[in-house]
Amino acid sequence: MDLKRRLPTALVLLAIIFVTIQFAPDWLFFLILQLIILAALLEFYGLCQRREVLPQKFIGVIAALIIGSTFYFPHFPLDLALFIILVIVGFYYLLISSSVEKVVLFPQSIALTFFGVVYVSFTLNFAFTIRQNYGPYIIYFLLTVIFIGDTGAYLVGKIWGRRPLAPIASPRKTWEGSVGGVVTACVGGFLVQQLLWPSLGWIKALVFAFFVNLLAQISDPVESLFKRAVGVKDSSNLLPGHGGFLDRVDSLIFAFPFFYFLVRWLKI
């Protein structure tokens, strides 16, 4: 039954992802990316609310859009964006200071709000920069490495997994599965490099695949910790059989920025 729910959603998502990455103009790709980011960000805030911590959703959405704009507009510097956000926060603080309780709770609330902006918006916006600077094939490389690595980790862990990797965050993840994920990710990276990105060279492809999968394996349990802290399995039920948007992008949160800076550092 679960497969019947998961498969149609997966096929629709894959079709949208492929068409968007391959054919969408920059503005449309950016727009769709922002919608995904905002959906994931609001899901994160929803998790926080279950612990009776109330993030400032309005401020978070505005800040996320401003941060995203620095990626789309090259002449809109990040430091100016941060200053604008700071002014908005200060003004908003004055508006809501109608009671001592709100004044006392605001710093904690705004700190969590901006953690969400950095954790979700800042990191995932690197997808736009990667596609704009290096083209769609490099996105395919990254997504394939993560998908194959996740699949390999699941299969190896299911068959040979014995030693827990992160028993609190992800009880089902094992060291054997983690190693299997890295190995299969490297194999997937090599195959994609041969088919779509021959100029990269197989050695760099293996290095990329190794570190990208490693970062994906770290970022996935981080989101699991948030969900475990509030006692839920999924961040939402917006995607039938797949949970929420945050559940789908959690493996990409650390991988996108790392991948971008590694590619830039190697001057590829």
Residue-wise pLDDT for 208-262, tens only, equals: 999 999 998 888 888 888 888 777 878 888 887 778 899 889 889 999 999 899 8
1 band by pLDDT with thresholds 50, 70 and 90: very low
- Two tokens at 19? 């068409």
* pLDDT per position as a tens digit, 90-109: 888 888 766 666 666 778 88
Question: For the whole model, what pTM was predicted?
Answer: 0.90
CB-count burial class (<10 Å; 0-12, 13-18, 19+) for 15 = exposed
C-alpha 209 chain-centroid distance: 17
* pLDDT per position as a tens digit, 188-221: 999 989 988 888 889 999 999 999 999 988 888 8
Domain range for 186: 2-265
Is the confidence at residue 41, as pLDDT, over 90? yes
Number of domains in the chain: 1
Query: CB neighbours of 150 closer than 8 A, spacing ≥ 6?
Result: 181, 216, 220, 251
CA atoms within 13 A on the CB side of 30: 15
Contact present, 184 and 148 (Cβ < 8 Å): yes
Contact present, 202 and 188 (Cβ < 8 Å): no
Contact present, 50 and 112 (Cβ < 8 Å): no
